[in-house]
Structure 1
């Protein structure tokens, strides 16, 4: 028996240099060999070694907890560095080997730790009205021969997005730092180890700042500039610690110099970057003209450390084809819709201008720029005489295709050796995977992952390409269960939720803005169900997946204030029906120009969610031991549910409105009063699916839950209906985009029409993750692993994947599936293989140490569940015979001929 304790982690940080917590909670995962079964931790030991004080401190605790356990000693001070390792014991009392040590170092925990000043330059506008990127620098002298450097740190942030260099070498590998937060409330700073970049004698720190989210144009309908300010500025502090105990600090102040006349003429998130390589880089030209900086007030916002990882380059994609369009334009196809930018190499041609235009799709053989709306998405490079390798520094695009204009004719046309696409996103830990025997479903799952990565660039956005790229709350409300399975989202999303709470409470009197950070007109931020409900559902989803009730505590005021800010009818307590609702946004039946005009009454959607979030608040209050609040919500819930039933459900159990979305909501949110009504509703949902010829009839609200609503019932034929909808290829369906060559999830079911034309609506993105919320059903039902539904009275016992449900739902033509998830305890997996002819089902399940599983074997009664502890478990079901009629038949009128696959 072998149990390995993995390297400890702290809070929700993936990286631990410069964290913002003085008493960081500690977690560790486990690995075990296949023979180790039913292992549970009974105690743990944490050894802490301080780099400053020296010596080892050992703390032993009798506990089975291994996720977010309390820091066992005195709080860390600013800049303090410690090494932490862990070992544990099981019921036999024998300790494991020590884990590998993890080094954790705090940043500047107090405002008084900063001696640096925020320094700015006089703003210089480009011809487009944007701020021209500004360069800041300072020189300093070090005698490292006589005073050896032990270590050096750079603490830095900016108004705008920055890139720093020390002695001409880039600092770190972060992109678009400091990221996007609600800048008037919170401004993130970063910590870098610059020890190896220092040299004896003259040293130079140089920082380039571009407008980014702070000053740049944001929003649709022309957007706004200078939302947070109109000055590019930097706050930087280098702290050097010497081996003899001495120290030197260099902080940005009035002695720094600046220049706005470098090679970067403009750099905008929407419109791209213009670079003139003929201009020498001022940061590398010590004799160039410079200006004095202006000292600004110290940032009034809280200076904080993000718990989420930074944005980074994560992948390189090579061109798949380079061709001429019908108009003879040179177009590069990278074969994948991605988010990032293009790196190019060219021998140079003096004063030649290369323009790269980025689009997601082609229309009639040309790059399709109309979906970009008021977004140029172009990068421009003005060439000098010599060869050059270039990439933009302060922008990104969503694209698959790039049109190249102005390539030097002396070199011929560009080749695949001259170009590559750089993929960027928040560098989260991959934590989930899925594959099955159907290649189209596998492609669907890959598309979901690509769309998530492309829309997790600092914050969770709707789309990465047009004049938007905003943190829409409704999108993440739908997608967070899928996101939390696929990647380690806890740090990024909990950071984003803090901004949601601040803007909601301080700026909008409890109403949740539709985008976070909010940059749209206040009149557009009227209370909206689903979107505003993200204040409650998203923290709950994080709690379920990561087991951290502190997230609930941090967001509790936000949740309650949102609930009380909902405009309710004084007679019913339901939503005020005079207030506009977005409803089941982008129902495929909605007109292209009116995406809110779907089939389901928007106020039905709002009220279903009101009942749901009221129940969640009762459960959250219980988890947090807020007995009085739990009692109040518990008293409100049955009354609201009863009024909902009086308004929308007939005595016989018929639901009005009668749509796929309404039925799915009522089933998943437990809105019916009797089991008979539940099964009647499920049957009605199945009938609507058959009547639609298994095409999807839901938008943002119904899509995440419709297949779950069908496949959660007792009647097995409904599961086949779910599979039939999954495997449908005609529009609208999940697989239709794949038949059209999609490599990401689309905003609309028909973003591209069957004839290849792009949807005429003004909102037509080819990279939107919301409709990819089916990912949770693929991993939880087809793949078969999920969190065991938490006990309402003891949610902490099963959250965070401590208690695991393994219950694959078989159906359709899928004969094999495997899925895995890296939980807070370790790797969970399930693989099943069905031999239809032999009526034999084989299934292998892995449960990590210190957790347990409840296994429902397909083909066996639900009462015959198998409860197991950790380990690898193999099951065989002989005589498996649950196949139902396949494919299910649609309901078609007698005057319509069936199609080939019906």
Structure 2
């Protein structure tokens, strides 16, 4: 181990002064080696003033100091675009070393395969970034007299086996308690079976601090039901579709194996594992013969149900264990702070909103993924383009998404301005996975480079997010401009289009009714328009003029080629009208007619959903903006399939990937691709927050807010609250019987200090309110 000393300046050396080397076990030890190095603190320099451990891995790492975990984080350092950015975590270990400043210490690193070594995508391949787990750690100690000591990983460290026999994020983890190494990271620990490590070539210039929050255990969920399936498997129902793992405490015969399988749904009274595709999602625990505790922290699963075989005592034994708290689910995701709340008088809508929240929690696990359960779990850019405004209301996702945007920029620079389908872009290593074409900029998906920073700017009011992303935003629009046809339309090349239109066949989700050129050109216009606004905010006047002119050319081409004099938009389906209205591509009488046509289509479909990924985030806004609020509510509150509330009637506790991921008879959609935890179609929650509750920013970051609830749909009350950057903004409204026998809207508003709110209520003039708590009424309201 390297242990160098310097006599210093007063502050610890910057973390960019890396002495550490990336090291891996010479023997892979089943992809889960333990690494350790012993050291002594330099004497004669007084007490430890401060000590920080900086640690990362190609794979995942759990650091241990003198036998005690350094942090409560899991799956560190997560998944980034490793070719350019490997994030490290920093931990204050000052008190640890002050407590025992003399004698020998041991720094240990438990490794797993993680994203760098394990399987990624649906081709079955693994090892895209590394062929074995490796770690890098640097402990920096500063003493009272200013002396600095650095302890770092290098070729002098040793490696040994752990109790983990297999680990993979998709397939699960196998642990043999008989092989538990015990106190392997304490001074004097046995060295039997331990061998050398090898330095792995690695450029420390790739190291960067982890700007987002760590992944942590968030809560524990107890099983609600225990029973035996027709096939004889013990089943658990957690009552909630979640992401994490089961934590078990069990005693049985030595060598007995408990196998745990995971699934989101039941099908034919058995675990519904077909939607997992090739992901085994199976943990195996071999008992020692004593009291064993198992927690598979080198994997994670998306599941509501678990199937167990080999449990001591069978069903009754499992019931006793559940009652004793010895079987529980651990919920895991990035450690985000909840900021936004919503409630209302409509029970199904409230449950839908809870489903949106749980979908975010399950998929915001270091990377904003599409789904957390099958052989995919990738950072699809289109899903986030749709969902970012909703996410930024529900949680403080600023650091989380800005870290992800740094990966997007790194991938984009390497791809000459193209924004990939997924970030980090593992698909580039695979030859047309799943039959997808070669990657090129794609509407909605690649627009994440613009729409996500803009959503963060609107939510938090931090101009720096635009400054650090502007080059990326502009590069995306430049790339799209180069792809336009001579007509000025983006009607060439591959597009996902209105992905997962409910009328598309299960086996062909591309076959949407919306013309892909209409969708793409509308998205190009929106991105160019937003880049022009960002340029103006940043004082880049030339860029503002350039991208503003491009936006106008796109608007003109859209109108000339896609919009009829009667307001009809090419392909005449809800998505094209929703995008044209909300993005501002139509004006005046044409806009009014387009809104009326959208309402006709929505009514003609029985107020059932007729949009996919592109149209769904915007269809209720388009109806509202064009005077069809009642239709927006009827669409939102529909319970027949396809609708937002149909899954709720089927017992869903997260948002589904498909409108009919489960069919009314309880069978799973026959398509190969279906998930029961996708957040994208939950993007309508943004409209719920702004229109049903009535909270929106008038200025980025809510320095000035709009409080404008629009009662409807038979709701009698609703409330929303948001921890803005300035404090708590809240609204609560209720429809009551007024003094004249009519309906009266009573609205309570809380405005944070240093801000103001424009209150807009039916039948009243707009009113500007300062900080404080206010009550207002609006008589004669018919919206309830």
TM-score (ref. length: structure 2)? 0.93
3-state DSSP of counterpart to 1:293: strand
Distance 1:385 1:422 in 2: 24
Distance 1:759 1:664 in 2: 27
Distance 1:155 1:780 in 2: 42
Distance 1:246 1:205 in 2: 21
Indicate if the aligned counterparts of 1:587 and 1:698 stay in contact, CA closer than 8 A: yes
Corresponding residue number in structure 1 for 2:648: 738
Q: Deviations over 1:547-571 (max 9, x none)?
A: 1222112112212221222253442
Query: CA 1:801–1:279 in structure 2 vs 1: closer, same or farther (change >3 Å)?
Result: same
Would you say 1:645 and 2:562 are equivalent positions?
A: no
Distance 1:341 1:452 in 2: 17
Corresponding residue number in structure 2 for 1:209: 111
Q: Deviations over 1:720-759 (max 9, x none)?
A: 1111111111100111001100000000000000000000
Distance 2:165 2:631 in 1: 57
Corresponding residue number in structure 1 for 2:373: 465
Indicate if the aligned counterparts of 1:854 and 1:867 stay in contact, CA closer than 8 A: yes
Would you say 1:515 and 2:422 are equivalent positions?
A: yes
Corresponding residue number in structure 2 for 1:501: 409
Q: How does 1:613-628 map to 2 (within 5 A)?
A: 613-628=527-542
Query: CA 1:522–1:494 in structure 2 vs 1: closer, same or farther (change >3 Å)?
Result: farther
Corresponding residue number in structure 1 for 2:613: 700
Could you tell me how far 1:809 is from its partner in structure 2? 0.8
Distance 2:180 2:708 in 1: 63
Would you say 1:682 and 2:595 are equivalent positions?
A: yes
3-state DSSP of counterpart to 1:189: strand
Q: Deviations over 1:278-304 (max 9, x none)?
A: 013172542322212112334355211
Could you tell me how far 1:381 is from its partner in structure 2? 0.4
Could you tell me how far 1:193 is from its partner in structure 2? 1.7
Corresponding residue number in structure 2 for 1:835: 736
Would you say 1:441 and 2:349 are equivalent positions?
A: yes
Q: How many residues align?
A: 754
Could you tell me how far 1:607 is from its partner in structure 2? 0.8
Q: Deviations over 1:90-117 (max 9, x none)?
A: xxxxxxxxxxxxxxxxxx442xx22222
Distance 2:545 2:477 in 1: 15
Query: CA 1:385–1:676 in structure 2 vs 1: closer, same or farther (change >3 Å)?
Result: same
Would you say 1:348 and 2:252 are equivalent positions?
A: yes
Corresponding residue number in structure 1 for 2:87: 188
Query: CA 1:156–1:603 in structure 2 vs 1: closer, same or farther (change >3 Å)?
Result: same
Would you say 1:632 and 2:543 are equivalent positions?
A: no
Distance 2:355 2:37 in 1: 46
Could you tell me how far 1:636 is from its partner in structure 2? 2.2
Indicate if the aligned counterparts of 1:123 and 1:231 stay in contact, CA closer than 8 A: no
Distance 1:238 1:645 in 2: 62
Query: CA 1:782–1:549 in structure 2 vs 1: closer, same or farther (change >3 Å)?
Result: same
Corresponding residue number in structure 2 for 1:14: none
Cα RMSD for the two superposed structures: 1.8
Q: Deviations over 1:415-455 (max 9, x none)?
A: 21321000010011111000001111110110000000100
> If each structure's helix is expressed as a fraction of its own residues, which one has the higher value?
2
3-state DSSP of counterpart to 1:495: helix
Distance 2:22 2:375 in 1: 30
Corresponding residue number in structure 2 for 1:69: none
Could you tell me how far 1:618 is from its partner in structure 2? 1.2
Q: How does 1:769-780 map to 2 (within 5 A)?
A: 769-780=679-690
Indicate if the aligned counterparts of 1:695 and 1:731 stay in contact, CA closer than 8 A: yes
Distance 2:71 2:130 in 1: 26
Corresponding residue number in structure 1 for 2:384: 476
Could you tell me how far 1:838 is from its partner in structure 2? 4.1
Distance 2:757 2:549 in 1: 34
Could you tell me how far 1:522 is from its partner in structure 2? 6.3
Corresponding residue number in structure 1 for 2:78: 179
Distance 2:540 2:607 in 1: 45
Indicate if the aligned counterparts of 2:168 and 2:298 stay in contact, CA closer than 8 A: yes
Would you say 1:767 and 2:677 are equivalent positions?
A: yes
Query: CA 1:637–1:410 in structure 2 vs 1: closer, same or farther (change >3 Å)?
Result: closer
Distance 2:312 2:422 in 1: 43
Q: How does 1:841-856 map to 2 (within 5 A)?
A: 841-856=745-760
Q: How does 1:857-872 map to 2 (within 5 A)?
A: 857-860=761-764, 864-872=765-773
Q: How does 1:712-731 map to 2 (within 5 A)?
A: 712-713=625-626, 715=627, 718-731=628-641
Indicate if the aligned counterparts of 1:345 and 1:388 stay in contact, CA closer than 8 A: yes
The worse-fitting range, judged by mean Cα deviation, of 510-519 and 296-305 is 296-305
Would you say 1:256 and 2:157 are equivalent positions?
A: yes
Query: CA 1:733–1:208 in structure 2 vs 1: closer, same or farther (change >3 Å)?
Result: same
Gaps of 5+ in 1: 1-51, 54-76, 80-107, 127-131, 789-797, 885-902
3-state DSSP of counterpart to 2:338: coil
Q: Deviations over 1:780-809 (max 9, x none)?
A: 100000011xxxxxxxxx211111111111
Distance 1:146 1:630 in 2: 58
Distance 2:431 2:450 in 1: 22
Would you say 1:429 and 2:337 are equivalent positions?
A: yes
Indicate if the aligned counterparts of 2:228 and 2:315 stay in contact, CA closer than 8 A: no
Corresponding residue number in structure 2 for 1:454: 362
Indicate if the aligned counterparts of 2:720 and 2:732 stay in contact, CA closer than 8 A: yes
Indicate if the aligned counterparts of 1:122 and 1:231 stay in contact, CA closer than 8 A: no
Corresponding residue number in structure 2 for 1:553: 467
Indicate if the aligned counterparts of 1:358 and 1:398 stay in contact, CA closer than 8 A: yes
The worse-fitting range, judged by mean Cα deviation, of 681-690 and 484-493 is 681-690
Would you say 1:786 and 2:696 are equivalent positions?
A: yes
Would you say 1:380 and 2:300 are equivalent positions?
A: no
Corresponding residue number in structure 2 for 1:409: 313
Indicate if the aligned counterparts of 2:566 and 2:593 stay in contact, CA closer than 8 A: no
Could you tell me how far 1:596 is from its partner in structure 2? 1.2
Corresponding residue number in structure 2 for 1:818: 719
Distance 2:301 2:49 in 1: 41
Would you say 1:154 and 2:84 are equivalent positions?
A: no
Would you say 1:242 and 2:136 are equivalent positions?
A: no
Corresponding residue number in structure 2 for 1:572: 487
3-state DSSP of counterpart to 2:179: coil
Indicate if the aligned counterparts of 2:710 and 2:783 stay in contact, CA closer than 8 A: no
Corresponding residue number in structure 2 for 1:587: 501
Corresponding residue number in structure 2 for 1:659: 573
Could you tell me how far 1:389 is from its partner in structure 2? 1.5
TM-score (ref. length: structure 1)? 0.81
Consecutive aligned runs of 4 or more in structure 1 exceeding 4 Å deviation:
142-147
Would you say 1:269 and 2:172 are equivalent positions?
A: no
Distance 2:130 2:595 in 1: 53
3-state DSSP of counterpart to 1:759: coil
Gaps of 5+ in 2: 1-8, 433-437
Indicate if the aligned counterparts of 1:810 and 1:858 stay in contact, CA closer than 8 A: no
Distance 2:630 2:228 in 1: 46
Distance 2:385 2:110 in 1: 36
Distance 1:590 1:394 in 2: 38
Distance 2:315 2:758 in 1: 64
Corresponding residue number in structure 2 for 1:753: 663
3-state DSSP of counterpart to 1:248: strand
Distance 1:571 1:525 in 2: 22
3-state DSSP of counterpart to 2:533: helix
Distance 1:746 1:165 in 2: 39
Corresponding residue number in structure 2 for 1:280: 180
Could you tell me how far 1:248 is from its partner in structure 2? 2.7
Could you tell me how far 1:391 is from its partner in structure 2? 0.6
The worse-fitting range, judged by mean Cα deviation, of 730-739 and 616-625 is 616-625
Q: Deviations over 1:801-820 (max 9, x none)?
A: 11111111111110100001
Could you tell me how far 1:874 is from its partner in structure 2? 1.0
Distance 1:421 1:456 in 2: 18
Corresponding residue number in structure 1 for 2:4: none
3-state DSSP of counterpart to 1:694: coil
3-state DSSP of counterpart to 2:456: helix
Could you tell me how far 1:603 is from its partner in structure 2? 1.4
Q: How does 1:2-21 map to 2 (within 5 A)?
A: none
Could you tell me how far 1:250 is from its partner in structure 2? 1.3
The worse-fitting range, judged by mean Cα deviation, of 731-740 and 242-251 is 242-251
